[in-house]
Amino acid sequence: MLSPSRGAIAPVRITRIVAAPLFGESPKGGWSTEIKAEDSIHALIAVHTDAGVTGYGSCFTDGRLVEAAIKVLEPFWNGENALEPERVSEKMHQNTFWMGRGGSLTHAISGIDIALWDIFGKVTGLSIGRLIGGRHQDRVMPYCSLLMDEPERMGDEIAVYREQGFRAFKIGWGPFGRRNDTKLDEAIVRAAKDALPSGGRLMVDAGASDAYWPNGLKWALRAADMLADHDVEWFEEAVKPDALEDFITLRKNSRIPISGGEVLTRRQSFIPFITQGAFDIVQPDVTKVGGLSEQRRIAWLAQDFGVRYVGHGWNTALGIAADLQLATALPNVDLVEYIAGSAYVDNIMSVPFSLDADGMLAIPDAPGLGVDLDRERVARYTPNAGLLFEDD
């Protein structure tokens, strides 16, 4: 039995965890079987406590799976101390090893973990960044993530967000690599490049985690060469996500950085990719990988092996808020992903994110995640908004 140390804060007990599936305006993913607006791809999480403090998180998965996972996980969170996020999250991981680790359970634990850190910050009066590492910076550049389109439309689409102040862009998925037409692929990239602001940055995402991705290593090597000729900053998911050896070969032979890792979950899955040289840049998703507790460890492993870390939690405002805290708690984080035009990012907070004159996002330093959901706005996208905010 552990005794409380001097100065310890009284435990804050978890009483209830609820999920709010988001649907109605689910953005397209560029998937070969495309996401429909009414599909639930993301869910918000609220962790309620006996102290009346509620924490919020986000999961990248169907809300029905999140709701089931919360029930399966209940014996491990019910009555737990919300002020010990890493211990409670690890308890959930360790005790569900045989129940689908790495899948929906891990995605659900991600949202719970983010919410626990939010509570810990709110109770201690500190932003999560300060709790998990400190403040390396006060702002970071969001890169605007856009689906690829036909060359004649690609430039216009970039122009919309260029006018909003974004200075870095990533284009991905869509027709790229899917029509057996390398001239088309290059024309899309050229159109995007021509539409960048002066000094703008461009990255390319093949999206090889799409269903039945048709290309292999030789395609990726040729495409990487073409992208290098256009000064593309990185080439993402250029081979299938589990093709470790191909990633290693591609990285050795590519003139531009190779990135990936958004579909990997659990810190253990990243070990071979980071230690064997598969990535120049690793992109874990905080809303899938196990939350802030897990992502912090992956990012540090990457740092120790000279691999850059860029977060992929772009799917809701809370995912981005979590990525912002990681972007200050770790050294050398120069970008966060920011999906363009998603209601679940732009329309659910009391004060939406806004870019400064340099195209940067301020990293909140208010307690916890440092952002507030807006009850009425959230209610547009889920029937469970009442359950999320019950204690507020």
Cβ at position 27, least distance to Mg ion in Å: 14
Residue 286 · residue 317 · CB < 8 Å: no
Alpha-carbon torsion 266, 254, 246, 216, what sign? positive
What's the CA gap between 126 and 210, in Å, rounded?
Answer: 39
Q: Please, which residue, 86 or 205, has the CB nearer to Mg ion?
A: 205
The distance of closest approach from Cβ of residue 236 to Mg ion in the complex, given in angstroms and rounded to an integer, is 5
In the complex, minimum distance from the CB of residue 205 to Mg ion, in angstroms, rounded to a whole number: 4
C-alpha angle 368-286-385 in degrees, rounded to nearest 5 = 60
Which single residue brings its beta carbon nearest to Mg ion? Answer: 205
- Residue with Cβ nearer Mg ion (113 or 262): 262
The residue (of 133 and 241) whose beta carbon lies closer to Mg ion is 241
> How near is the Cβ of 319 to Mg ion at its closest, in Å?
14
Based on CB atoms, which residue is closest to Mg ion, 121 or 261?
Answer: 261
Rounded to the nearest 5°, which phi and psi values hold at 112? -65, -45
Helical packing angle, 292-304 and 267-275, nearest 10°:
10
Cα→Cα distances 338→168, 295, 354, Å: 10, 17, 12
CB of 132 or CB of 202, closer to Mg ion: 202
CA dihedral 133, 139, 145, 151 (to 10 degrees): -140
Closest distance between Mg ion and the C-beta of residue 20, in Å?
25
Minimal distance, residue 293 CB to Mg ion, in Å? 23
Task: Give the whole-angstrom CA distance, residue 288 versus residue 110.
Answer: 6
By CB under 5 A, name the binding residues for Mg ion.
205, 262
CA 182 to chain centre: 30
Beta strands in 272-322 (DSSP E): 281-282, 308-309
A 10 A CB-CB count for 141 gives 19
Minimum distance of Mg ion from residue 18's CB (angstroms):
29
Asked if residues 270 and 303 have their Cβ atoms less than 8 Å apart, the reply is no
Check if the beta carbon of residue 299 is closer than 8 Å to that of residue 350.
no
Pick 88 or 220: Cβ nearer Mg ion: 220
Shortest reach from residue 284's CB to Mg ion, in Å: 12
Q: Which residues contact 26 (CB under 8 A, 6 or more apart)?
A: 35, 36, 37, 38, 39, 40, 41, 42, 344
Kindly tell me which of 62 and 262 has the beta carbon lying closer to Mg ion.
262
Q: Which is nearer to Mg ion, 33 or 198 (CB)?
A: 33
